Structure 1
């Protein structure tokens, strides 16, 4: 029986897991993201002890996932200290001598949700420390010379947010600059998890997220949009986003069941990314 590896490469931790052909987790380990060399060494050790036939990596970015590029497999110009322009794929592939699939962390989550929802046309947004997006159409990732950067689209400012400049170091008031987790603390001086549900800031966040999925609906016309990430862990956020989305759409496009169209992930703790990676690793052997 073949076993498959999943690596969720994050700026804080690498979650390594081994799964079977039924996408069940056999074993896993959390490896802190320390130095590049030390982290890769620990990842390779885990999979040298827990043998797998292939691995899929879903990584924080930006990354180069263009197989025709000289820097394929690299994490590019990330703000994560010590991790800019480093090769993530080759040291693992060389040490373990197995096929490795490389993509973004949000692509892994989207692929897992595609399987869990039996839906081959969907959009997935991760709204947390940063904002990332993935589009799957007819079971395939959408992207040309690189992965999508849906978190950096421009959005209209909320009336109560006109004086806030945004936190994105590149664009300031793009979607990520206005709706990511750090933007909440930048406005209020309080971490999001410590802010009460009746604070104005949540409605501001929902206004921006709704714009993103409104734009995505018009451009992509998916069957489903899934909103993951820490900001969406707030129980009240999904309803707020749907309310703003409904106002923005203003019956222009008919969405028959809004509750089935805009959803949070099917399973908790970003486990859809692990399942997505197992499936992508399996594809390497098919």
Structure 2
């Protein structure tokens, strides 16, 4: 984008931290970070106050918000913009439209943080020029965004890929840690799940620890299902766990090839290596996702 590109504000709201930015196209002009406390009014108010001050120096034309969920994304719903049924203490029912967006008379793009990251990877990153692509984050939780023809996929609700149930490896009797489902993917392969399996934090495990093979296999179950149902041109894997272990991506790719069993044409090892990739935007995929949501609200 040129210097004449519109300035937009972006907010990435995560379970542990939030980041607000002012950006012109992909160029970040200013940014601020907060801890996501247990009082949503305080956190959202601090973000809105910072945006108000930042707008005095550089007025923005749209606001993009990418947030942890689950989120109510149907504009016709009476609780549009609310976080629903979250385990984050104090945040169930917190409304992002009321808490932030209503302070500003600009178009608003609201979606999950992972859908925003998927949108950003499609606009600027590893999924550029892909009509159908997925962004999966593996960290404290597991979540995924699906983009089709440049728009995040929604239906009755947004995708919750982390809570998909997967086939268990033979002999794996780990019960999982998800408080709702137990052994859904998030309950088996998120950072806290890996720590519960191994007895130490994921970042402390050596690359050859056998836990990683179980994690790779579980994630490959989702990869195979996504390939068979969506036929994506790219699946981007990010997040602290997803990017933190150099061998994990290769193990996921190999296990995905095994899952597919040669059924799909053009889905051998070489093709899967190009299909399942790391994020080009790195740890800032969520921040750029908020920017992308703001630009999408302007139809830019």
Q: What TM-score do you get using the length of structure 1 for normalisation?
A: 0.95
TM-aligned CA deviation for residue 142 of structure 1: 1.7
Alignment pair present for 1:139 and 2:150: yes
Output the CA distance in 2 between the equivalents of 1:133 and 1:159: 26
Q: Which residue of 2 aligns with 1:149?
A: 160
Structure 1, unaligned stretches of length 5 or more?
none
For residues 106 and 166 of structure 1, do their structure 2 counterparts lie closer, same or farther at Cα, with a shift above 3 Å needed?
A: same
Q: Which residue of 2 aligns with 1:15?
A: 19
Q: Which residue of 2 aligns with 1:267?
A: 281
Q: Which residue of 2 aligns with 1:73?
A: 81
Contact 2:113 2:290 in 1 (8 A): no
Choose from 50, 53, 56 the match for 2:54.
50
Choose from 188, 196, 214 the match for 2:224.
214
Deviation larger for 255-264 or 210-219? 255-264
Q: Equivalences for 1:273-284 in 2 at 5 Å?
A: 273-284=286-297
For residues 275 and 120 of structure 1, do their structure 2 counterparts lie closer, same or farther at Cα, with a shift above 3 Å needed?
A: farther
Aligned to 1:102, the other structure's residue is in SS state: strand
Aligned to 2:178, the other structure's residue is in SS state: coil
Q: Equivalences for 1:1-286 in 2 at 5 Å?
A: 1=4, 2-21=6-25, 23-34=26-37, 35-51=39-55, 52-115=60-123, 116=125, 117-162=128-173, 164-232=174-242, 233-253=244-264, 254-255=266-267, 257-269=271-283, 271-286=284-299
Deviation larger for 250-259 or 236-245? 250-259
Q: Hey, which bits of structure 1, 4+ residues long, moved more than 3 A?
A: none
Aligned to 2:282, the other structure's residue is in SS state: coil
Contact 2:133 2:148 in 1 (8 A): yes
TM-aligned CA deviation for residue 132 of structure 1: 0.8
Contact 1:122 1:222 in 2 (8 A): yes
Output the CA distance in 2 between the equivalents of 1:138 and 1:283: 13
TM-aligned CA deviation for residue 219 of structure 1: 0.4
Q: What TM-score do you get using the length of structure 2 for normalisation?
A: 0.91
Output the CA distance in 1 between the equivalents of 2:250 and 2:15: 30
Cα RMSD (Å): 1.3
Structure 2, unaligned stretches of length 5 or more?
none
TM-aligned CA deviation for residue 160 of structure 1: 4.2
TM-aligned CA deviation for residue 19 of structure 1: 0.6
